[in-house]
Structure 1
Amino acid sequence: MSSLEQLYQQVILDHSRRRTGEAAIDGLPFSSHQVNPTCGDEVTLGVDVDPDGQLTRVAWQGDGCAISQASLSMMNELIEGASNDELRSMYSAMDQMMHSRGKGVPDEVLDRLGDAAVLEGTSKFANRVKCALLGWYALRDSLAQAGIDIVEEENHG
Structure 2
Amino acid sequence: MSDLRELYQELILDHGKHPRNFGAPEHADREAKGHNPLCGDRLTVYLVLDGDRIVDARFDGAGCAISTASASLMTETLKGRTLAEAEQIFAKFHDLVTGGRSHLDDPELEKLEVFAGVSEFPVRVKCATLAWHTLKAATEASSDAVSTE
TM-score (norm. length: structure 2):
0.84
Report how far residue 56 of structure 1 moved.
Answer: 2.5
Structure label with greater radius of gyration? 1
RMSD across aligned positions (CA): 2.1
SS at 1:22 equivalent: coil
Higher strand share goes to which structure?
2
Contact 1:111 1:117 in 2 (8 A): no
CA shift, 1:119, in A, is 0.6
Given candidates 109, 114, 117, the residue that maps to 1:113 is 109
Listed as ranges, the matches of 1:126-137 within 5 Å are 126-137=122-133
Map 1:1-157 → 2, pairs under 5 A: 2-50=2-50, 52-100=51-99, 105-108=101-104, 113-145=109-141
Q: Distance in 2 between matches of 1:83 and 1:110?
A: 15
CA distance in 2, matches of 1:112, 1:91: 14
Consecutive unaligned residues of structure 1, counting only runs of 5 or more, are 147-157
How many residue pairs match? The answer is 142
Deviation of 1:108 after TM superposition, in Å, equals 4.1
Q: CA deviation at 1:46?
A: 1.5
TM-score, with structure 1 as normaliser: 0.80
Does the Cα contact within 8 Å between 2:21 and 2:72 map onto a contact in 1? yes
Measured after TM superposition, the shift of residue 60 of structure 1 is: 0.9
Kindly report structure 1 stretches of 4+ aligned residues shifted beyond 3 Å: 106-112
Following superposition, the deviation at residue 2 of structure 1 comes to 2.1
Structure 2: gaps of 5 or more residues = 143-149
Offset, 1:114: 2.3
Q: Counterpart of 1:119 in structure 2: which amino acid?
A: F
